[in-house]
Amino acid sequence: MRILASDPVAEKGLNILREEGFIVDEKIKLSEEELIKIIPQYDALIVRSETKVTARIIEAAENLKIIGRAGVGVDNIDLAAASKKGIIVVNSPEGNTIAAAEHTIALMMALLRNIPQAHAALKAGKWLRKEFTGYELRGKTVGIIGLGRIGTAVAKRVKAFETRVIGYDPFISEERAQMLGITLMPLEELLQNADIVTMHLPLNNETRNLINRERLKLMKKSAFIINCARGGIIDEEALYEALKAGEIAGAALDVFAKEPLTESPLFELQNVIVTPHLGASTKEAQINVAIDVAREIANVLKGGLAQNAVNFPAMDKESYQRLKPYINLAEKLGNFLAQILSGGLLAAEIVYNGLAFKEETRPLTLAALKGLLDPLLMEKVNYVNAPVVAKERGIKVRETVMENGADYTNLITLKVTTEKGERIIAGTLFRNNEPRIVQIDQYRVDVVPEGYKLFVPHKDQPLMIGRVGLILGEKGINIAGMQLGRLTPGGDAVMVLSLDHPADGDSIKAIAEIPGIYEVKAVSL
């Protein structure tokens, strides 16, 4: 399999992939057109922030299974397009945290002490001291917007400078903030109170221009603002105006709405210091993220599940090990049902009973959907695009989780509604790792979801089994196992045959013609 690195990525990471037997090409600074031309050859793409992975590139990526971002922000990747095409997108969220936090501190100190300006002046032969009198960090209030990995690493570090730290992050709890020694407050209040405001949140539709003209006006005239997260979170035009008008004291920017950027009105202001997106540019961080993303890509290309997927639920190793047999079971249930369905699919409901499903069910639902949709549709359905495909086709998906309420300790039930009615399948794990189908429609069964099956609902009457066995036997198709389920003697019943070879069309037709047989469905799992 072939992997393309279209931005500079540390060799240590790429070598991991080469050692695993993958072919790795490094081609940087490609245009969109050039990428569109070559992308069909690749199974994986590794990028940093420079390559813009557009919908057009993704559309052309016939063989692409995974896009790995050697870094955190994935705003340069069209996630919706990747998800629709079933391409998993992973990032490496931890490897550059310290680099970005330290760069923020470096910018903060440089901003407060006019280091870049003084440096440039002295090199130009000017010994200026009075002009470059700065401020101390001690005693100041630092406002951190976004209290994730980098935000909290910055908080820890500025505390060592004897500052007060206030924070805004709608997704973290009061308890966590308290533990970190950060006073949480609404954004507007933070802007009014901080002497230094620093951004550590992703760029997305909600955060674009979060710091706009009105919000900049809330800041103290003496305040500084730092953006080492993403360009576009601060409105650059509004920032220019605020700095020019002296509404705030200064800004340090590592990131810009458009990159690379070599000319900007902001660059002309004395109270603005800039770096060209260097937050993650340390030797250590680049090695860390390259190794992390390489391991993730190798794992996914070899059939494993990603741990840092941004368009698939992230799971730690422990949860993955615990849920893996249930993920496989859910997929088999969907797969079985898909092969016995008739009529257009309208809705799918997945009901989880048992404590095994208390914490996480999303990967199981995606697996059930993949199993259900993949055999029914022309396009390839996987864990990533399954919900998009269902939505596009108007298939309603519902998930219900109950701690108990079933006859088994842990039970997954998949109910689907088609134009022709409802079908149900349920499964469990015996002894925690042996998958079993325990219900099909109204029948209780005990079927190992593996291999070739024949699903035959019929009337409960003598000779049914014998006649089916005879037809298969005459064709040399060995019956490896058989499960019977019935509601009442002489009423409706079902047989599920496990076969050593798939049943051929003629045998299926002959069985369907036996009086008392309602339908015959061949299932391959």
- Active-site choice (241, 259, 349, 399): 259
Whole-angstrom distance, CA of residue 471 vs CA of residue 13: 58
Chain residues 57-76 in contact with ligand AKG, contact rule CB under 6 A? 71-73
Is 230 catalytic? The answer is yes
DSSP class of 326: H
3-state secondary structure of 18: helix
Q: Under rule CB under 6 A, which residues in 37-56 are in contact with ligand AKG?
A: 48-49
Strands 443-447 and 434-440: antiparallel
* Contacted entry of ligand AKG, ligand NAI, none for residue 48, CB cut-off 5 to 8 Å set by kind: ligand AKG
Q: Which of 259, 256, 196, 261 is nearest to 230 (CA)?
A: 256
Beta-carbon neighbour count of residue 441 at 10 Å? 18
Partner interacting with residue 145 (select from ligand AKG, ligand NAI, none; CB below 5-8 Å by kind) = ligand NAI
CA distance 319 to 339: 30
Report how many residues bind ligand AKG under the rule CB under 6 A.
10
Residue carrying the six token digits 């109950």: 402
Residue 87 binding: pick among ligand AKG, ligand NAI, none (C-beta 5-8 Å cut-off by kind): none
Which segments of 216-288 are extended strands (E)?
224-227, 250-253, 272-274
Whether the CB-CB separation of 337 and 354 falls below 8 Å is answered with no
CB of 73 to ligand AKG, least distance (A): 3
The C-alpha angle with vertex 396 and arms to 391 and 400, in degrees rounded to 5, equals: 125
The residue written with tokens 């399954």 in the block is 386
Bridge partners of residue 486, in order along the sequence = 493
Q: Which does 168 bind (CB under 5 to 8 A by kind): ligand AKG, ligand NAI, none?
A: ligand NAI
Closest alpha carbon to 3 in 429, 411, 290? 290
Q: Measure the CA–CA gap between 253 and 239, rounded to whole angstroms.
A: 11
CB closer to ligand NAI out of 227 and 439: 227
- Considering the complex, state which of residue 95 and residue 167 has its C-beta at the smaller distance from ligand AKG: 95
Residue nearer to ligand AKG on the CB measure, 242 or 310: 310
Residue 104 or 413 having the CB closest to ligand AKG: 104
Asked if 277 is an active-site residue, the reply is yes
| Single-letter amino acid, residue 434 | E
Among 209, 271, 281, 299, binds ligand AKG (CB under 6 A): 281
Identify which of 278, 279, 307 has the alpha carbon closest to the alpha carbon of residue 293: 307
Nearest residue to ligand NAI by CB is 148
> Is 385 near ligand AKG (CB under 6 A)?
no
Whether 296 sits among the annotated catalytic residues: the reply is no
* Candidates 103, 230, 295, 458; catalytic one: 230
Write down the least CB distance from residue 267 to ligand AKG, Å.
20
201 binds, among ligand AKG, ligand NAI, none (CB under 5 to 8 A by kind): ligand NAI
Residue 461: strand, helix, or coil: coil
Q: Verify binding: residue 333, ligand AKG, rule CB under 6 A.
A: no
Q: What token pair was written down for 45?
A: 């793409």
17, 280, 412, 517: residue in contact with ligand AKG (rule CB under 6 A): 280
Per CB under 6 A, does 96 bind ligand AKG? yes
Is residue 198 within 8 A of residue 143, CB to CB? The reply is yes
The set of residues, in sequence order, having a beta carbon less than 8 Å from that of 206 and lying 6+ positions away, is none
Least Cβ distance, residue 145 to ligand NAI (angstroms): 5
- Select from ligand NAI, ligand AKG, none the partner in contact with residue 247, using the beta carbon and a kind-dependent cut-off of 5 to 8 Å: none
Find which of ligand NAI, ligand AKG, none residue 429 binds, CB within 5 to 8 Å per kind.
none
Least Cβ distance, residue 486 to ligand NAI (angstroms):
55
Which residue ranges make up the site for ligand NAI (CB under 6 A)?
71-73, 93, 96-97, 100, 145-151, 168-172, 200-202, 206-207, 228-230, 254-255, 277, 279-280
- Residue number with CB closer to ligand NAI (1 or 187): 187
CB-CB neighbours of 350 under 10 Å: 26
> Which of these, 284, 411, 289, lies nearest to 350 by C-alpha position?
411
C-alpha 441, offset from chain centre: 34
Binding site for ligand AKG (CB under 6 A): 48-49, 71-73, 96, 277, 279-281
Catalytic residues: 230, 259, 277
